[in-house]
Structure 1
Amino acid sequence: MNLPNTITLFRFVLIPVYLWAFYGTESEHKVGALFVLLVAGFTDILDGWLARRNGQETQMGQLLDPLADKLMLLSVLFSLLQSGRVPWLVAGLLLFRDAAMIVGSAFFYIQGKRAVPKANRWGKTTTVVYYVTICAVMLQWPSSDAAEELLWVTVVLSYITTLLYVASMRLIDVRRRVL
């Protein structure tokens, strides 16, 4: 087990910590939960950077890293939905997309298609927008209307990114068959 994978596993531990901070505080703004989420985001950046820099990219890391991200973001969405901070339609679209990504990745892995497209600018941009949007929603800043607009931008961007990801998977599959 290398350091980047250990950091990724730590993100799984942060999921119940986030939920405890979200539901265990009376504060309307949930600053503690937001802090845990930002630590998770930082560790996501850190583990990828360390893996690339030290040549420690592994199959396990390629599978666990996006799973940890998706499970954290699903937990955040469920908590925000349950607390009435996110509309059902927005949450449903984002939850469906993330759940489909988890199931799709598992399906491809089981089918032996273990090549995973590298994170691209679209994916990284979507992740940043996701985090900014969640911060705006949790802090209710600059306003709840602006936060809802950001939510819709996040939905559209996440689906564009998903389509690009699926296209990348198809390209990898085509290249594999040709070679």
Structure 2
Amino acid sequence: MTTSEDRIFTIPNLLSFLRLLGVPVFLWLILGPKADGWAVALLMVAGFSDWLDGKLARAWNQTSKLGRLIDPAADRLYILATLAGLVLRDIIPWWLAALVIGRDVLLLFTVPFLRRMGYGYALPVHFLGKAATANLMYAFPLLFLASHPGWYAEICAIFGWAFVIWGTGLYWWAGVLYVVQVRQLARVS
């Protein structure tokens, strides 16, 4: 029997899927023609659609298993794509990208435990993780803008680095809380 959680064709899932399709376009924009204005606009649209799909899923009772999988996947892919672009364009140091990616690598080790306990690939996203992702999504466009000459560059750099520092700290804090939660589940099982 199919439940509402098994739905695939929902507006929130469509928004998440469109966000996924934007990742290679985003990478091409920042690495090919270096059309940073368009890349930042796409990143902003992706950030807004991330907020909107969650809002609509809850408001219209269209939450689904697929949505809980592709929504955070789209977030992670945008983060990875943006980090790659920022590093390859020498806007941020490689170690910062490694720090952010390292948290996700750490969490990959929880997947076998979660699957064995019957939780699938991931636990529900924690508010702290959402706050961290939001900080990083604000930081990245600002850092791209800060890399250009213009009256806005210095203020974008200040805010961009503030958001990236807070976002990375919150990202790791959320990751540690996630590992603690997985350990607590392992003890109970």
TM-score normalised by length of structure 2: 0.78
Structure 1 CA distance for aligned equivalents of residues 21 and 113 of structure 2: 26
**5+ residue gaps, structure 2:** 1-7, 147-152
**Letter matched to residue 25 of structure 1:** P
1:9 aligns with 2:17: yes
Structure 2 CA distance for aligned equivalents of residues 94 and 80 of structure 1: 13
Structure 2 CA distance for aligned equivalents of residues 60 and 172 of structure 1: 23
Cα drift, residue 20 of structure 1: 1.8
- What secondary structure does 1:156 align onto? helix
Which string of whole-angstrom CA distances, capped at 9 and with x for unpartnered residues, describes residues 26-63 of structure 1?
A: 45xx1110111111111111111121122222222111
Structure 2 CA distance for aligned equivalents of residues 143 and 41 of structure 1: 18
TM-score normalised by length of structure 1: 0.82
| Aligned 8 A contact 2:129 2:170 in 1 | no
Share of identical aligned residues, percent?
Answer: 28
Distance 1:26 1:121, change over 3 A: closer
Aligned to 2:57: 51
Give 1:95's match in structure 2, choosing from 98, 101, 104. Answer: 101
Please give the residue correspondences for 1:119-134 in structure 2 after superposition, counting only pairs within 5 Å: 119-134=125-140
**Letter matched to residue 161 of structure 1:** A
Aligned to 2:30: 22
Aligned to 1:73: 79
Aligned to 2:168: 155
| Aligned 8 A contact 1:22 1:79 in 2 | yes
Q: CA RMSD in A?
A: 2.5
| Aligned 8 A contact 1:74 1:98 in 2 | no
